[in-house]
Structure 1
Amino acid sequence: MSNVEEIIASPSFFLGFHLKSNRAKEKKARRLEERAAMDAVCAKVDAANKLDDPLAAFPAFKKYDRNGTQMKKVMLTVFKHNHGAYQFFREALQFEIDETSPSMSGCCGDDCSYEILSRRTKHGEASAGHTHGGGHCGGCCH
């Protein structure tokens, strides 16, 4: 018998094919589970997108009048070490470091781990000439 015939005749040769077959089945089962999970998420998103009034379940928000707030600017806090978020808000959404941010007010310098970013709204741009003087430090980062 040649070496090839001995290898093919050995039980371990077919066991190897069997193991590969099981691994392939497990892999396929995992892919099917992932696909089913993704399909479930997509179904929820589709259902949410088909809602006529997404706030119907929250009657308290029915009274909210976005234009009635006369909000002058939008503010948020971002950690300095979160470079992705910092870059996104500064570059993509055009937020600027707010004057109340610790780095601008001078109260904490570089010791503070966050920045306060802001962006004026249309209502705020109309009243941009009106500013409040004075410094800021009321335990901003301690």
Structure 2
Amino acid sequence: MDNRLTLLLPYKAFNLPITIFILAGFMNAFPKEVEEAGIVDGCSVMGVFGRLIIPMLTPALATAFIINFLNNWNEFSFALVLISDSALKTLPLGLANFAGQYNRSYTLQMAGLTIVLVPTLLFYLSVQKYLTAGMTAGAVKG
């Protein structure tokens, strides 16, 4: 309780299935001829992986990163249950502090929501081209 690892481990555990699903779909559609061409050209197994597969895997990795980032950024329930130290609370928990039992400050809530939304929106706009490429990369077999 009340340390950074408390949230890190559940976040990883709950985001691992979608990450595996995205990367497995991409890797199943990856042509074996590219690997064979790398071996014929003299690359080792690690050389083929580092010089050929990883650069071609970039859209799928970016898609998994974007989805995981957005899921973790907006997560509320784990942080509410596992963190009680106010210095470690996440932004959604901080926004919940604006709503009390008997009063609500809607102007402060909307200002806080805007401040929280801006980094997410900028991040998404800067990497959205990778999201589309990564989601469609493993979809078609052919």
Calculate the TM-score normalised by the size of structure 2.
Answer: 0.20
Greater strand share, structure number: 1
Calculate the TM-score normalised by the size of structure 1.
Answer: 0.20
Structure of larger gyration radius: 1
Greater helix share, structure number: 2
Tell me which of the two structures has the higher relative contact order, counting C-alpha pairs closer than 8 angstroms and 6 or more residues apart: 2
